[in-house]
Amino acid sequence: MKKILSGAALLAALLLAGALSSCSSGSSVDYGPLPSEAQLRWQDLEMYMFCHFGPNTFTNVEWGDGKENPDVFNPTDLDCRQWARIAKEAGMKGIIITAKHHDGFCLWPSAYSTHTVAQSSWRDGKGDVLRELSDACKEYGLLFGVYISPWDRNHPAYGTAEYNTVFANTIREVHTNYGPVFEQWFDGAGTNDEVQQNMPYDWNLFNKTVYQASPDAIIFSDIGPGCRWIGNERGRSFKANWSRLDTDGFTPGIGAPRADTLTRGNVHGAKWIPAESDVSIRPGWFYSPDTDNRVKAVSQLMEIYFNTVGNNANLLLNVPPDRRGKIHPADSARLMQFKAAREEYFAERLAVGNRKLVAKIPEGKTVKCVVLQEDIAHGQKISSFVVESLRDGRWLELERGFTVGHKKIVRFENEWPAEAVRVRILSSYAPAKITSMEVY
């Protein structure tokens, strides 16, 4: 904290200097690994819906054993258009569905499995959840993504090298018949399965198959290559969250980096692999009538939002359809409340920072947060910054932060009166540029 010129004179000088400056801070020089165009578009999505749906929905278990009778899967009133409508109204940008979970049951009539909707009595074996959801997403302007678990507790070839070809064909079948697919989700579960712990997954083949069918798809796993797991299922990130990761010597699942590494990323990681946080609106991933009154509170969802989207990570919020095949009213209502809470929090934008990262605050207003965005197209560089407010001719420190990345929401413990707010980059690994500064 240091004494400066009179508040009005200084503020006028700062605003003028900002107007004459050529950029917000630093210049657009490349540093380290850079995101692809597809990764940049993916990061802009910020939040989309996960839908865990399958036999587990009807058996009250999280991991089926693959021995379920296909007739167990029997939604009485499947309505994927309802899922899409709710996702759209809640501010989601897409839906990722568990097309095949660990039990091996396929929600489409796959040619590479005998454990599918075609073997069930649902709709006389002619139903196809993926077709209905893919069409619904197109109708509502949402992106369509798929979770296809490599672990298969039903398929007779699982545990042999032959299964790699089966699984690659399964991936190709889904992407070709139901795409475009914006994100392919690979779960690492099963890599330490006691029965098939030596399953030789051919991840290079799997990724290659995805890219052949969907060149712009973002591939999720513990180590990407498109985006990475954030290391927990609680919607938490570390204060410093880097979009870079070292992957040499690691594999998805049991061979992944430590959870705390996934949560933070690697400061000087060799590859651009940003974080995605998967978290469920309920205690479990699949619907259970036992959890109808245990949907996360709006306050919990807001904290998750601030700690993910507000800290350089995308949020994949799981909303599991119920046994009718619809989003349960409790979940739908909470999603609308969550959206309303976000809109209320960001209802009044007080100011936008100039090119010197100084924002003049209207008289009589208090500030509660600052939203920053870094020019990540040229790499992630900022490692520390400070937010300050101008009051009575003095700059007072409000908050210190670490990384910025795609988006950083800096919240203050209290709302503060201020004549102006400024952001100073304290350290970065190359000349850095903040492309957006908004004060609320």
Q: Is the bond preceding residue 225 a cis peptide, omega within 30 degrees?
A: yes
Query: Of 1-15, 158-172, 271-285, 299-313, where does mean pLDDT reach its minimum?
Result: 1-15
pLDDT digits (tens, 9 = 90+) for 166-213: 999 999 999 999 999 999 999 987 766 555 556 889 999 999 999 999
Tokens of 52: 């865990």
Q: pTM of this prediction?
A: 0.94
Q: Provide the pLDDT for residue 8.
A: 53
DSSP string, 46-99: -EEEEE--STHHHHT-SS--S---GGG---SS--HHHHHHHHHHTT--EEEEEE
Residues 6+ apart with CB under 8 A from 69: none
Q: Provide the pLDDT for residue 199.
A: 83
- Residue 209, classed as helix, strand or coil, is helix
pLDDT classification of 266: cutoffs 50, 70, 90: very high
Question: Mean of the pLDDT values across residues 329-357?
Answer: 97
Question: Mean of the pLDDT values across residues 278-297?
Answer: 98
Domains along the sequence of the chain with CATH: 7-30+348-439 (2.60.120.260), 37-345 (3.20.20.80)
Work out the percent of the chain whose per-residue pLDDT is above 90: 90
Picking from 128, 122, 137, the residue whose alpha carbon sits closest to that of residue 75 is 122
Query: Of 17-31, 224-238, 389-403, where does mean pLDDT reach its minimum?
Result: 17-31
Question: Does pLDDT of 23 surpass 80?
Answer: no
Q: Provide the pLDDT for residue 197.
A: 56
Question: Does pLDDT of 20 surpass 80?
Answer: no
Q: Provide the pLDDT for residue 188.
A: 82
Picking from 2, 12, 14, 32, the residue whose alpha carbon sits closest to that of residue 265 is 32
Q: Provide the pLDDT for residue 3.
A: 37
Asked if residues 42 and 182 have their Cβ atoms less than 8 Å apart, the reply is yes
Q: Provide the pLDDT for residue 190.
A: 74
Helical (H) or strand (E) element with 250: none
pLDDT digits (tens, 9 = 90+) for 81-90: 999 999 999 9
pLDDT digits (tens, 9 = 90+) for 53-95: 999 999 999 999 999 999 999 999 999 999 999 999 999 999 9
Residues 6+ apart with CB under 8 A from 360: 11, 15, 351, 419, 420
Question: Mean of the pLDDT values across residues 140-164?
Answer: 96
